[in-house]
Amino acid sequence: MTRHDELEFQLTYGDCDTVGIAFFAIYYRWMERAYTSWMSSHGLRSGELPDQLGIITVGVSSGASYLRPAKVLDRLTCHLVLDHIGTTSYSVGYEFTRDGELITRGRMAYVCRGLDWSKTQVPNALRRVLESLPGPHFSVPAGG
């Protein structure tokens, strides 16, 4: 069975600096890819949320804690975890592992806005999807 709350990938030279260590910003690209794929697996697409749920989600903060270096050709897994669900906002955590060891922990926070950009509640359909995410696997604070 395919797990939609994780994304496996291999680092390439384009992901790394001149000494072969993963450039810090590449983690954000993989967080966004994992989030987009996971949302899509639940029938939700960020660009279509106004039509699907009558809302817009806006990324308002992000961060990452780099615990261990990753190098070119390392195989990593990005695990999505539920960080927080509030009334009008939510955040998703990202745990990057190599052979089961946590190497980076990231976080992205979103707010929900109505089509007129007013503050609005997280719709029940989105809340149910978010609640399907597992909790953190490691007790390391998320960055940001």
- pLDDT tens across 10-63, in order? 999 999 998 889 988 999 999 999 999 999 999 999 889 999 999 999 999 999
Q: Is residue 108's pLDDT more than 60?
A: yes
State residue 142's pLDDT score.
Answer: 56
Tell me if the domain spanning 6-131 has CATH number 2.40.50.140.
Answer: no
**35 vs 55: CA distance, rounded Å:** 17
**56 vs 118: CA distance, rounded Å:** 10
Residue 63 exposure: Cα atoms within 13 Å on the Cβ side: 8
State residue 38's pLDDT score.
Answer: 95
State residue 2's pLDDT score.
Answer: 55
Q: Is residue 3's pLDDT more than 70?
A: no
In the sheet that holds 89-98, the strands lie side by side as 6-10, 75-85, 89-98, 101-114, 55-66
Question: What is the identity of the amino acid at 38?
Answer: W
Lowest mean pLDDT among 67-71, 94-98, 127-131, 134-138: 134-138
State residue 100's pLDDT score.
Answer: 94
State residue 141's pLDDT score.
Answer: 59
